[in-house]
Amino acid sequence: MSEDAIEVRIDRLSKLGEGVGSHEGRTVFVEGALPGERTRVLLVPDGKVLRGVLLEVLERSPARRDGKALCAVSDRCGGCDWLHLSEEAQRESKQEVLVSALEHLGGLSRTGFEVRPMIASAQAMGYRRRATLHFARGQLAYFGRHSHEKVPVARCPALVASLEPLPGPLSEALAPLAKDADEVQLLAEGGKTAVAVKLSSPVKEKHREAARKALSAVGLAGVVLVPKQGAVELVGQPVLRAPAPLAPQVPLYARPDAFAQANAEANAALVEAALQLLAPGGQERALELYCGNGNFTFGLGARVASVVAVESARVSLDLARRSAREANVTNVRFVEGDAQKVSEGLAAERQRFDVLLVDPPRAGAKGLGTWAKRLGVRRVVYVACDPASLARDARDLLTAGFTPGVLQGVDMFPETRHVEAVMSFNRAEGA
């Protein structure tokens, strides 16, 4: 392949956020290029695909903007990889990525389901209540763009107001932990902040002492020390509380070492969209897989006769059970275990459910169609954080006799290529 620069016209964005064009019949991926742009690139073979190093934008997209005006390290940091693209264009590209994945990976016709306009985030910046950082030469840092190179940050404009100035002073406060810390997780909720420190060693007294000092030094509610082996230790009060979405009478608890959606306002819209599409009825039985800390559970429980909620992460499940106890929620049964194994066990017991809500991790829910069919489910709502996994599991549901209903995208992560989606499926007559 010649090392001479060539011109490439960019047609679309890939699900990884790269510009996609073609050269001599082959697809070319160009980091930093936008749809509609004419670019000059240096081709770099990368296995079976071609990648182009962007040398110059010859014709700019009207959606292009200066990312550095929003964040000084936008050209290096891997956190906000679409700062150079307007928010409206981001949502258009994310919608196309979702539909294209369902079409090409899932085998669904574009006209075979309803596509609703994407729900925009209330804020494009300053929305993240969670973040994961790493130490680099004594400073907290994000991973770089498509790499594990570390980009130190003192402030981060993507974070909510209480976290935005925290990386710098937190680096100093947690300095005694730096050599043993694999990562530091931040969480803000209800006006309070907490952090989790994942350690490469057992918890030592110097770690506890640094955590105690950090409480007052940077105003933390608490610190979770998570050793590679041994028991987790809590310093202060790192369990934070907020009302459960669509069930404000239930306290929803979160901890920085457990999963929670990063965008609180968009998460509320996500839960509302999921329950609206599931359309649960008062006498129905619901099964929820990957329930986490109860993000969907309590809103769902308020609308059906009973819920069986399944989760494998002990920390998240303990938080959900605490919420249920304190709010006296009696129609939800929490089950700890792998979603597939628990579903197989429920089917073997001849358990039947009317509706299924599933919110799997990025890898998806392999075998979902089989579980849903064996459990007699009539309606499924799938919450997706990865378009490819949604497409594969949608194909599985179609094979099991379900038909697609509605696709609803949610712009949970503005300024990034990531997108959240909710999709409904209904069991076909006679299936």
Active site residues: 385
When pLDDT is averaged across residues 228-238 and rounded to a whole number, the result is 95
Percent of the chain with pLDDT over 90: 90
Judge contact between 400 and 373, C-beta under 8 A.
yes
When pLDDT is averaged across residues 217-239 and rounded to a whole number, the result is 96
pLDDT value of residue 15 = 85
Q: What's the length of the chain? A: 431
CATH of domain 130-240: 2.40.50.1070
Q: Is pLDDT of 104 > 60?
A: yes
Cβ neighbours around 228 below 10 Å, total: 11
- The answer for residues whose C-beta is within 8 angstroms of residue 73's C-beta and 6 or more apart is 151, 153
b/e for 318-344, b at 16 or more Cβ within 10 A?
A: bbbbbbbeebebeebebbeeebbebbb
When pLDDT is averaged across residues 261-278 and rounded to a whole number, the result is 98
Name residue 263's beta-bridge partners: 128
Residue 352 DSSP symbol:
-
When pLDDT is averaged across residues 230-245 and rounded to a whole number, the result is 97
232/395 Cα distance (integer angstroms): 40
Instruction: List, as one string, the DSSP characters of 53-109.
Output: EEEEEEE--TTB--GGGT-TTTTTBSS-TTTTB-HHHHHHHHHHHHHHHHHHTT---
When pLDDT is averaged across residues 251-256 and rounded to a whole number, the result is 98
Domain ranges of the chain: 6-64, 130-240, 263-427
pLDDT value of residue 3 = 58
Whether the model pTM is above 0.85: yes
272/408 Cα distance (integer angstroms): 11
CA nearest to 302, candidates 249, 355, 256: 249
**Alpha-carbon 369 to chain mean position:** 23
Q: What angle in degrees, to the nearest 10, is found between the helix axes of 87-104 and 387-399?
A: 30
> What pLDDT, in 10s, does the model give residues 31-73?
999 999 999 999 987 777 889 999 999 999 999 999 989 999 9
Could you check whether 130-240 and 263-427 share the same CATH topology? no
Q: What would the two tokens of residue 81 be?
A: 């990889």
Burial class, 117, CB count within 10 angstroms (exposed 0-12 / middle 13-18 / buried 19+): exposed
Q: Is pLDDT of 7 > 60?
A: yes
pLDDT class for 1, splitting at 50, 70, 90? very low
> What pLDDT, in 10s, does the model give residues 13-36?
988 889 999 998 899 999 999 999
pLDDT class for 2, splitting at 50, 70, 90? very low
pLDDT class for 282, splitting at 50, 70, 90? confident
Q: Phi and psi dihedrals of 179, rounded to 5?
A: -70, -25
> What pLDDT, in 10s, does the model give residues 376-403?
999 999 999 999 999 999 999 999 999 9
**CATH architecture for segment(s) 263-427:** 3-Layer(aba) Sandwich (3.40)
4/41 Cα distance (integer angstroms): 9
6-64 CATH fold: OB fold (Dihydrolipoamide Acetyltransferase, E2P) (2.40.50)
- What's the mean per-residue pLDDT of the chain? 95
CA nearest to 288, candidates 351, 201, 411, 380: 380
When pLDDT is averaged across residues 408-422 and rounded to a whole number, the result is 97
Position 70, amino acid = L
> What pLDDT, in 10s, does the model give residues 117-162?
999 999 999 999 999 999 999 999 999 987 889 999 999 999 999 9
